[in-house]
Amino acid sequence: MAAIVSRSTQSGRPRGPSAWAIIRLVLRYVLLVILALLFLLPFYLIVRNGLAAESEITSPNWTFFPSTLHFENIQELFKDTEVPFLDGMVNSTIIAVLQTAGQILLSALAGYGLARIAYRWSNQVFYAILVTLMIPSAVIFVPTYVIVSYLGWVSTLQGLVVPGVFSGFTTFLFRQFFLGFPRELEEAGRVDGLGYWGVFWRIVVPNSFGIIAALSVITFIASWNAFLWPLVIGQDSSAWTVQVVLSNFLNAQVLNLHELFIGATIAILPLVIIFLFLQRYIVEGYKQSGLKG
């Protein structure tokens, strides 16, 4: 009897992971490390070249680290009178913040209206917004420029900001999220005497931080990295964004590589900081929007 109990006890012991499972786990982590290194390689090259001398950047004898770290390149960058880097950073910050705030506000209002306010042409309006997503940006680029030029907004803050304060894609994501928003919370607000406006600001917005944060990050990054529109509209150097400023370090007349690389390093720092603090909201926001990947 004791032998039977002993055998049953031994057979009930939890078994550890098999050798094949351990191998798979190790291979998975090795693959993730390799992919992470490949992802970080461009950032390493930017920082390395930004702190190197011009001769070391173009030298055929490549070294993993520069012989001397030239931190004076940062000071040289901000003192360059021909290329207003600091003004470009300020302009990019203002434009990105205004476009993000405007796009989130207008798209959230439009998305909530399409999801919750029933009226005769609601479906047609929604389909019209979807159609705009299928139009290539190159097709509407020239008409948009003509309108901005007619309004006298070339090389102005309005011309750089206003065309990007509404997005059909952001509106679509907000609509998908609001379709799944608990109606019980909204009904409770209406019992307390709130209308659509009150329900939206007092109930819906405070409970939608995930999707708002996610789309804010995505919109800010897209606005910060925009190049073609600021290049065409910002014809005066006072209206240049940081991306346009960086392009002036590398043209037919100038080849200033060390300032280009150190400028790129400084330009991506705000995006890296924002992404590190809010990266979880990007995934969370897409999940809450109802999109399936």
Q: What is the per-residue pLDDT across 127-164, written as a single tens digit (0 to 9) for each? A: 999 898 898 888 999 999 999 999 999 999 999 999 99
Residues 36 and 148 in one domain: no
Residue 100 pLDDT > 60: yes
Residues in the chain: 293
Structure confidence at residue 123 (pLDDT): 85
Q: Do 85 and 56 reside in the same domain of the chain?
A: no
Mean pLDDT on 274-285: 74
pLDDT at 16: 62
* Same domain, residue pair 79 and 146: yes
27 and 98 both lie in a single domain: no
Burial of 247 per CB tally in 10 Å (0-12, 13-18, 19+): middle
- Nearest CA among 117, 121, 288 for reference residue 200: 117
Integer angstrom CA distances of residue 106 from 102, 167, 174: 6, 9, 10
Same domain, 162 and 45: no
pLDDT of residue 15: 65
Residue 40's H or E segment, with its range, is helix 19-50
* Claim to verify: residue 238 and residue 121 sit in the same structural domain: yes
> Nearest Cα to 282, choosing from 205, 181, 213?
213
Residues with Cβ < 8 Å from 284, sequence gap 6 or more?
210, 211, 214
- 3-state SS class at 250: strand
Question: What integer pLDDT is reported at residue 291 of this predicted model?
Answer: 47
In a domain, 4, yes or no: no
Query: Could you give the CA distance from residue 131 to residue 106 in angstroms, rounded to a whole number?
Result: 18
* pLDDT of 5 higher than 80: no
**How many domains are contained in the chain?**
2
Residue 10, pLDDT above cutoff 70: no
- Please indicate, yes or no, whether residues 199 and 255 belong to a single structural domain of this protein: yes
Q: Residues of the chain with pLDDT > 70: what percent? A: 89
Claim to verify: residue 154 and residue 64 sit in the same structural domain: no
Is the pLDDT assigned to residue 200 strictly greater than 80? yes
Please state the pTM of the whole predicted model.
Answer: 0.83
In which domain, by residue range, is 58 found? 17-70
Q: Are residues 101 and 49 in the same domain?
A: no
Q: Which of 22-31, 153-162, 188-197, 273-282 has the lowest mean pLDDT?
A: 273-282
Q: Is the pLDDT of residue 177 over 80?
A: yes
Mean pLDDT for the stretch of residues 46-55: 89
Q: Residues 15-20: contacts with CB within 8 Å, 24+ apart? A: none
8 A C-beta contact, residue 162 and residue 153: yes
Which residue is associated with the tokens 């913040």?
97
Pick the last residue of a domain from 70, 101, 133.
70
Of residues 7 and 42, more confidence is placed in 42
> What tokens appear for 262 in the block?
């150190």
Three-state DSSP class for 241?
A: coil
Identify whether the C-beta of residue 165 lies closer than 8 Å to the C-beta of residue 99. Answer: yes
CB-CB contact of 211 with 169 (8 Å): no
Q: Which burial class, exposed, middle or buried, applies to 257 when counting CB atoms under 10 A from its CB (0-12, 13-18, 19+)?
A: middle
pLDDT band at 2 (very low <50, low <70, confident <90, very high): very low
Distance CA 133, CA 119 (A): 23
Domain final residue pick, 70, 85, 100: 70
- Please indicate, yes or no, whether residues 102 and 174 belong to a single structural domain of this protein: yes
The answer to whether the CB of 99 falls within 8 A of the CB of 241 is no
Q: Let me know whether 28 and 125 are in one domain.
A: no
Q: How far is Cα 132 from Cα 130, in angstroms, rounded to an integer? A: 5
Backbone angles phi, psi at 213, to 5 degrees: -65, -40
Same domain, 65 and 106: no
Least confident piece of the model among 22-31, 113-122, 137-146: 113-122
Structure confidence at residue 12 as a pLDDT band (50, 70, 90): low
pLDDT digits (tens, 9 = 90+) for 206-224: 988 888 988 998 899 999 9
C-alpha angle 123-124-125 in degrees, rounded to nearest 5: 90
Of residues 253 and 14, which shows the higher confidence score?
A: 253
- Residue 264, CA atoms < 13 Å, CB-side half-sphere: 20
In a domain, 293, yes or no: no
Q: Per the domain annotation, does 105 fall within a domain?
A: yes
Q: Is the dihedral of CA 46, 47, 53, 59 positive or negative?
A: negative
